[in-house]
Every structure is written in structure tokens, then in C-alpha cells.
Amino acid sequence: MPTKITVNANGPFMIEGDFTLTDGAQNSYDLAGREKIFLCRCGESSNKPFCDGAHKSCGFVDPGEARALAPKQ
């Protein structure tokens, strides 16, 4: 399945499908066979880059609605 990234309203990014998650040094995270993960958007997770549900108590609000990017410069 191709990679799909969903921006959840007031919550995390959901990544599902065929993907690899790497750090800045290109080391791969061990995802323990998961085909779906949730990445933090609020910045409050104690398990970054993964979501731990902290957005529910920190007041993070973002509708996550699709929009067009400004033209590339």
C-alpha cells in the first residue's frame, strides 16, 4: 500500500502504508512491524517523534484542514 499521511484535527499525523522512518543521521527507527504510526504535532509528547496523547491535555488546537501551499519561489 502506498504511504498515506493524515493530519488529524487537534491531534497527530497518522502515517500508514509502506514507509521507513529515519532520524537525521538516516538511522531507521524500529517500528516493530507496524504499518501505521502516529507522530506528534503538539510538541508535548514524552516519546517524540511518536504521539503519546499529550495533545489532549496541553490545549493543542489545529484543524488540520487541507489547503494549497504558496507557489514555490
SS3 58: helix
Mean pLDDT to the nearest integer, 48-56? 98
What kind and span of H or E run contains 14? strand 13-16
Is the pLDDT at 1 greater than 90, yes or no? Answer: no
* pLDDT per residue as tens digits for the range 2-44: 999 999 999 999 999 999 999 999 999 999 999 999 999 999 9
List the CATH number of the domain containing 2: 3.40.5.90
pLDDT for residue 38: 98
Count how many domains the chain has.
1
User: Beta strand pairing status for 4-7 and 13-16?
Assistant: antiparallel
- Tell if the pTM clears 0.75, that is, is over it: yes
Separation of first and last alpha carbons in the chain: 33
C-alpha cell at 58: 496541553
Residue 8, domain member (yes or no): yes
Half-sphere exposure in the Cβ direction for 23 (13 Å, CA): 9
